[in-house]
Amino acid sequence: MMFNSSRWRTTLEAISLPIAALLFSLVLFGIFCALAGANPFAVYASIYKAAFGNWRSFQNTLIRAAPLMLTALCTALPARLGLIIIGNEGALVVGGIGAVAAGLALQGAPPTLVQIGMALAGLICGGLWIGAVGALRHYRGVNETISSLLLNYIAIALLNHLVSGPMKDPTSLNKPSTYPIPDVDMLGKIPGTRVHYGLIYGLIACVIAYFLIQRTTFGFAARTAGGNIRAARIAGLPVGKLTMAICFLAGSCAGLAGMVEVAAVQGRANESLNANYGYSGILVAFIARHNPLAATLVAVLVGGILASGGILQRVHNLPDATVLVFQGLVFLVVMYSESLYGRLPIFKERSQVSGSPATATV
Amino acid sequence: MATEALGWLGVPLAIAAGTMRGGTPFLFVSLGECLTEKSGKINLGLEGTLLMGAMTAYAVSYLTGSPWLGVIAAGLSGMVLGFIHAWLTQQPRVNDVAVGIAMIIFGSGLAFFLGKPFIQPKAPPLPTLDLGGWSTLPALQSALKISPLFLLGAALAPLMMWFFKSTRWGLFIRAVGDSPDAARAMGVSIKKVRMLCIIGGSFLAGIGGASLSLYYPGIWSERISSGQGLMAVALVIFAHWQPMQCLYASLLFGGAQSLGPALQSVGITQGYYLFNAAPYVLTLLIMIITCSPKRTVSGAPGALGASN
């Protein structure tokens, strides 16, 4: 369990190292801003204000956190199997296309039915997209990182092709788009807020993912195969089926993010769908160390960073890429912090004596 | 349009021209990745390095008026990013691929941040060698405008092959990449060799970026790279880690990339975006064909991607 008293130092390490990494990257970002001619403390204040300052801005952050929770699972779930999948952006785009197609095809049906149809289409399209990556990995040994990345570009080309040709609404001139989804079929807002139901989808998906990985035999099998694939094969685990099932689930989460973006924010599919939620989702997964529950909190933090892009541009005259630099810095520092686990004396378990099973693995 | 006078003949001509124009960034990045991977490390972050190189080259060329100075500056900026990657990936339990993703975000963010003021102005491009002066066809003339950067890259490929095969340093690099234990027994510092290879590879990737912004398409914008840095990683696998094959593969990829624009120039706009996806589909198909779950691809450095 999380609060096992004899392992509290390890738990403390798992919590404090990512926080320390975030704080340190905040310092580095401040230095960067100072070099760019902006007052770092004013920048911090602006980010805080734009992300968490008041209820209104916090709602903006939550709207951005919703797709991030879902896209983060696209990297976090396969990571438990030892796969690094970064096709989040592509799966999101494909899920969005599927959702729009379903929404338009079901037009006229009761709104709840249309919404279920759109969600299913997003789940299935995204799932098949990343499921294919898993199949290529298993049957052909194709590196999953590279194939999933290539699929991002292919998905974006597909989106551009569809919205400028077969699915184009002739009235959308300067920004080719599909026909809009009727307002009645759009996902509603959580009562009393401006935040759409996508946030609930994200939270539920993360909780399900956590239980699936940590509390079921399926999750145990996946973690075993991720730890040592040869041992898993000897134990008779169906590694291929596990790979494809996990990849399908991962892709369907990102596909659902595409559905949420289409059915709750954009109302139609166009190039705005490709808004880098996929790439930021990778960052969320890595900061959360692929733990789905932690991903919900990290998604809110990263959503806050994304929400502050506008204010940095307006108030501090910093280019919109500032947010990207910040994310890159956080990512690099978090990667460095990986090397510190087990190396800092304060987090060393004192109760563990030599001869414990943990030391026998090497 | 000049190509219209040639009709359908314009398509193969435009693709042939594209192989050299579009192939140049692939060539430099893949040679850089080849050097990096020969030492046993993967650098997925070369996409960020490429963008940083493109921005630096354009900015320096604009500010100093000398495109060649821009090329050198692009290489140096690549080396800085390469140093960060090399240092991070040599920490214990840090995954090369994950750091590569981080470097893509960081490098592209930095390039867009610093490159913002240079999107509008026009920087002096690299001069080209006009080998088509004998022809009266303007399409042929423009197709035969060959960049010295392409020639440089094409000369670098056999040079690198000779370097790996016949020099002492080449042997060290191969030893570090294939069997670090043997290299250690030879008294070679694995850390130092990998550090130098990653930095050297990033230098080449930076120059690849310079060929984007100073040769073809010869502009700086945030959409200048269409994933060449990432495709180069797949290209190196396809080329079986051999520099000469990197050259051929780069030409193939450059040609695939010019398919969409070439067809557009003769009036085929249907499916323009799909043709633009040709290089990615090609890369994926090549990987599906060349990879196998049973064995590693022949020519792969033995210790590639292994943890420290």
| B202 CB within 8 Å of a chain A CB | no
Closest Cβ–Cβ partner in A142, A153, A324 for B105: A324
* Cα B201 from chain centroid (whole Å): 10
Tell me whether residues A321 and B109 touch, CB distance under 8 A.
Answer: yes
Q: Determine which of A331, A333, A337, A362 to mutate to test the interface with B (most B C-beta atoms within 10 Å).
A: A331
Q: Which amino acid is at A204?
A: I
Give, for A241, the enclosing helix (H) or strand (E). helix A239-260
Residue B65 is predicted with a pLDDT of 94
The contacts of residue B92 (CB under 8 Å, 6+ apart) are A339, A343, B308
A359 in a structural domain = no
Identify the closest residue of chain B to A280 by CA–CA distance.
B105
What pTM does this model have? 0.91
A212 in a structural domain = yes
Chain B neighbors of A244, CB-CB under 8 A: none
Domain count, chain A: 1
**In chain A, which among 69-88 make CB contacts under 8 A with chain B?**
84, 86
Q: Which amino acid is at B183?
A: A
CA B57 – CA B64 distance, rounded (Å): 10
- For the purposes of burial, counting CB atoms within 10 Å of the CB of A54, is it exposed (0-12), middle (13-18) or buried (19 or more)? exposed
Q: Residues A81-130: pLDDT tens digits?
A: 999 999 999 999 999 999 999 999 999 999 999 999 999 999 999 999 99
How far apart are the CA of B104 and the nearest CA of chain A, in angstroms? 8
Distances (CA, A) of B181 to A194, B17, B186, B194, B198: 60, 46, 9, 14, 20
Q: Facing residues of B145 across strands?
A: B130
A217 in a structural domain = yes
Q: Facing residues of A189 across strands?
A: A196
Are the C-beta atoms of B73 and B193 separated by less than 8 Å?
no
The contacts of residue B228 (CB under 8 Å, 6+ apart) are B25, B26, B29, B47, B50, B208, B212
| B294 CB within 8 Å of a chain A CB | yes
How far apart are the CA of A225 and the nearest CA of chain B, in angstroms? 16
How far apart are the CA of A312 and the nearest CA of chain B, in angstroms? 12
A148 in a structural domain = yes
Chain B neighbors of A327, CB-CB under 8 A: 105, 109
A347 in a structural domain = no
Where b means 16+ CB within 10 Å and e means fewer, B102-117 reads bbbbbbbbbbbbbbbe
Q: Which residue has the tokens 């798992």?
A: A14
Residue B5 is predicted with a pLDDT of 55
- Number of CB pairs < 8 Å for A and B? 145
Could you tell me the end-to-end alpha-carbon distance of chain B, in angstroms, rounded to an integer? 56
Q: B2-127+146-290: what fold?
A: ABC transporter involved in vitamin B12 uptake, BtuC (1.10.3470)
Chain A neighbors of B51, CB-CB under 8 A: none
Q: Which residue has the tokens 């994304």?
A: A306
What range does the domain containing A222 cover? 22-30+38-341
Per-residue pLDDT of chain A (362 residues; tens, 9 = 90+): 445 555 788 888 888 999 999 999 999 999 999 999 999 999 999 999 999 999 999 999 999 999 999 999 999 999 999 999 999 999 999 999 999 999 999 999 999 999 999 999 999 999 999 999 999 999 998 989 989 989 999 999 999 999 988 888 888 888 889 999 999 999 999 999 999 999 999 999 999 999 999 999 999 999 999 888 888 888 888 999 999 999 999 999 999 999 999 999 999 999 889 888 999 999 999 999 999 999 999 999 999 999 998 899 999 989 989 999 999 999 999 999 989 988 888 877 665 444 444 433 33
The CATH number covering residue A145 comes to: 1.10.3470
Tokens in use for B283?
Answer: 């890369």
Residue ranges in chain B whose pLDDT is less than 50: 1-4
- Locate the domains of chain B by residue range: 2-127+146-290
Tokens in use for B199?
Answer: 């930095």
- For the purposes of burial, counting CB atoms within 10 Å of the CB of A231, is it exposed (0-12), middle (13-18) or buried (19 or more)? exposed
Identify the closest residue of chain B to A284 by CA–CA distance.
B102
- For the purposes of burial, counting CB atoms within 10 Å of the CB of A109, is it exposed (0-12), middle (13-18) or buried (19 or more)? middle
| A31 CB within 8 Å of a chain B CB | no
